[in-house]
Structure 1
């Protein structure tokens, strides 16, 4: 039924558009390659494969995930930047796309001008964890502790310039330019033992992973970086509720196409991914990962989201002096 609906929607394109863009009307006329610039089996790859499977059910062609890692997300992104502008090679990326320009001044492409945002698929908030013996049982108490002891406490992250690192720096800045020492790890799982043992005072993590430690009582959760409390953790306040305004942050998932891809193709890709995001099974499975899905975004709203995120994070990167060696 979904495939018939999608094909029917394509059939009602104005005749002038269909004549002007014959390739667009035929999209897809070959398998669609979804490039994921992250490792297979990771937290980005799992949702990407779910979307590829669901979108493939809606189309007359398969959607094939291709993991292309290297230099952060640069290698995989370059594959898409140089691909034909026909909608058959797409990029599945995250907040990493909005910080590349600030972290890597010499890129083989421009993350803004060489890509067309197609659809913002969903957002995942962060949870702020502290060691359970830290003398701070709430976000206001933590802010007071850090303010009274500038540079005394350490926080961990899953890597320099990643979503977790940036979210922590945003929180520190919005709380009054608080000072804490950053200790990067190769992924959150590598750093959590140091939080639990007391080597680290705090660690921000994506909610799906961090909530596990809080719910087991291994660490204390002081806040959520979302605009509203999570259904999975209704007792954990947002940062705003904890007295720190404008510290909302997410790792988000977005579909990109090469810049210059015909508008009717962009609209067709957007419609397919929006329809997949609206599927109850997708909502349920990604909801378990604390992802809030967006199934009504347009290329225009995705473009504005990317512009806002790029401006926000480039400011944080500059002010915090974040560098990738």
Structure 2
């Protein structure tokens, strides 16, 4: 399943409206914010249609996924947007993660918990808010493509860079850091970012670089930490490969077209997260060229001064000075 879908669910009293464009969307929020009501209305429409008193408008079928038979149901449907309430404890299981990885459906999961088995995007975490009878979704972590902070000036000039992993992205930022005579270290994985930051020198301006496409489950505690310590800034592009593709050093018209609306190209059954798609896209587009890319080790061509400068200048939010 691919594409972006507008969903409208309404009755005489309430009106919900939002867009779904990735395989996993999370709706968070406390009690009495309308989450359960939304699920009930979708269930009523699926069971009773127009006689339910609910209108549901979407270009693809919408229904709830729940109960002991969830796995059987899931394996026998495709092309649906499936809404799941947090009362269904299976959403926290590895089995559920394994099943939806192979599924040709989109999932909207309503939960107050962080689902560590699922690679969901920081951009697809929403809360419900109301304006009179109109219920809508809002992004909880707005502008998370870039460094998010309520008070700091953008762009930020880091004194320390903490990179999520130890692959090509880390090699690139380490090279930049060495040139600027600042610190750069790898956290060794997104689950270790929080503990690494807690042990950091809070007198320095720290910039965290991580894949926004799959860091959703870690976002709550990272965001709270960045609010507690004003020196911690979060730079969360889709992925390092996305940064390279967006920089324009790989000159191909199709790339810019894909980046304008990735949801039209990324098949949810094939790619569990957008980060994986951008990695494959970059590998494919550079195969047989001097820019040949592999995730495990950075091709030195990306560290040539002209290319490095072009990549750095495409990154909104961080100010890095290069001696070119």
TM-score (norm 1): 0.28
Bigger relative contact order (CA 8 A; separation at least 6): 1
Structure number with the higher helix fraction is: 1
